[in-house]
Structure 1
Amino acid sequence: MPNPPTPLHRPCLTHPTSAAIMGAGLLLLGFGCSSDRVSHYRVPKESATPQAPIPAMPPKPMGERTGEPSDVPPPPKPKGSLKWSLPKGWSELPGGGMRFATFKTPYAGKLEATVVVLPGPAGGELANVNRWRGQIALPALDEAGLAKSRSTLKSKVGAVNVYDFTSEGQAKSRMVAGYVATPDGNTWFLKLTGDADPVAKAKPDFMTILGSLHLD
């Protein structure tokens, strides 16, 4: 009589060794999944790179020109610079920037008297006169108009070219300017500007200043 068939061997899932192996696999799988989740959601913040401290600005050297009126020293005194005599009641104030000097007048109203010195021809007489005319809204001149508007005053430094312009309209501005080139190659501009009436009162004194010009 034939033997009955041997049943297939099925490993028992509750065997301690099998359970341990499967538990370890599941645990590793869980670590892998957990690791994926951590790497996806918990991105470590990059540590901020420390920045080098900004160095403190060094103090400005004395006499540095910053463009502020109180911090701009007067220009250096040119060799053999121009000199003048002031009428009674006038006084001289230090200049600044391009301005060599400022005159304080005894007359009330809008009025200013200044001295500017520039090296060389400073662009030429015609260009400077037209720039002055533009400041009081007057049209430019040509060479013929320049010669016609020029008067000459003698001084110890030589001939001083004088110009006198008054603006148009009701509120009139006036400008009286002296233009002189000195032997050292510099060009000097002495200007009296302001409202027409105060300039008219101060002009005789200003002409006296132009006539007193001499070299240092």
Structure 2
Amino acid sequence: MRVEAPDPGARRDGARPWSSVAPAWVFLGALALAASGCQRESVSHFRVPKAAPEPAGMAAMPAGMGGGMGAPGMAGDVPPPAQPTGSSALAWTLPKGWNEVRGGGAMRYATLTPPASGGKVEVTVIVLPGPAGGELANVNRWRGQIGLPPLDEASLASARKHVKTRAGDVSVYDFLGEGQQKTRVVAGFTFTEGNTWFLKMSGDAAAVGARKPEFVSMLESLRLDAN
């Protein structure tokens, strides 16, 4: 009788040898990994862009304020305040040879023209309701127009002169600008009947100086229109 030698790779319990089973497991594992990878690749990702931030200050800007000069909502569209009349309006005696034209601007009450005196001179009368920013702010605005630095309260008091009128006390200022072409401002400031009045003469220094006595005389004649 022929006896065959036992297979070294065979198991005694009759199970299949590992060498023949391992390739199947490897194949199944690879297949599972491939399927998992396909599922991951099929997931779609979406990124929602963030809203662009508003420029600084725009969020707080009131409606109608985003335009340029003269845009709706700007000061250029605001009607000028009503001009005072009757007993609330100032009147004056015009110096000899001077001309007067009422109006001439949104807040201009009158434009006065003195006789020619060898240089440019402009005389304006402006009236605003209420304190109109105060005396110091307006005086410093006049000074800035002729290239002078601003004053403080103490310097303002030193620069102020007083003229007594039938309409009340008038503060008078006289400033000479710096530079090659000298300019000068002589101005009166008074508050009466709830309105602030500015009477200002400005222009070439020599011409303004020549007309200053007449201008001060006009300031002294101020009165309420009913008087």
Question: Does the CA contact (< 8 Å) of 2:136 and 2:156 recur in 1?
Answer: yes
Q: Which amino acid aligns with 2:202?
A: T
Aligned to 1:87: 95
Distance 1:162 1:178 in 2: 4
- Does the alignment pair 1:113 with 2:127? no
Deviation digits for residues 64-84 of structure 1, max 9, x if unmatched?
xxx7xxxx9996344520000
Q: Output the CA distance in 2 between the equivalents of 1:115 and 1:140.
A: 23
Q: Hey, what's the Cα distance between the residues in 1 that align with 2:93 and 2:82?
A: 20
- C-alpha separation in 2, matches of 1:137 and 1:205: 25
Q: Runs of 5+ in structure 2 lacking a partner? A: 1-75
Are residues 198 and 74 of structure 1, via their aligned partners in 2, closer, same or farther at CA, if it must alter by over 3 Å?
A: farther
Residue by residue over 1:136-165, the C-alpha shift from the partner in whole angstroms, topping out at 9 and shown as x without a partner, is 010000000100100001111111000000
Summarize deviations over 1:23-78 as a string: whole Å, max 9, x none. Answer: xxxxxxxxxxxxxxxxxxxxxxxxxxxxxxxxxxxxxxxxxxxx7xxxx9996344
Q: Deviation at 1:94?
A: 2.0
1:99 touches 1:114 (CA, 8 Å); kept in 2?
Answer: yes
Kept in 2, the 8 Å contact 1:162–1:178? The answer is: yes
Amino acid at match of 1:84: W
Match of 1:99 among 103, 108, 113: 108
Amino acid at match of 1:202: R
Q: Distance in 2 between matches of 1:127 and 1:104?
A: 26
Counterpart amino acid of residue 82 in structure 1: L
Note closer, same or farther for the CA distance 1:213–1:130 as it changes in structure 2 (3 Å cut).
same
Match of 2:162 among 149, 152, 161: 152
Instruction: Report the 3-state secondary structure (helix = DSSP H, G, I; strand = E; otherwise coil) of the residue aligned with 1:76.
Output: coil
Contact 2:94 2:218 in 1 (8 A): yes
Distance 1:213 1:195 in 2: 25
Q: Which residue of 2 aligns with 1:196?
A: 205
- Quote how far apart the aligned CAs of 1:176 are: 0.1
Deviations 1:78-112 (A, max 9, x none): 45200000111011112221110000111232110
Structure 2 residue identity aligned to 1:141: L
Q: Normalized against structure 2, the TM-score is what?
A: 0.61
Q: Which residue of 1 aligns with 2:148?
A: 138
Within 5 A, what are the aligned runs for 1:66-85? 76-79=83-86, 80-85=88-93
> What is the root-mean-square deviation in Å for CA atoms of aligned residues?
1.8
Amino acid paired to 1:127: A
Check if 1:215 corresponds to 2:224. yes
Residue 184 of structure 2 corresponds to residue 177 of structure 1: no
Identity of aligned residues (%): 60
In the alignment, residue 190 of structure 1 is paired with which amino acid?
L
| Structure 1: tracts of 5 or more residues without a match | 1-66
Q: Under a length normalisation based on structure 1, what TM-score does the superposition of the two structures give?
A: 0.64
Q: Aligned to 1:167, which of 166, 172, 177?
A: 177
Say which SS state the counterpart of residue 130 (structure 1) adopts: helix
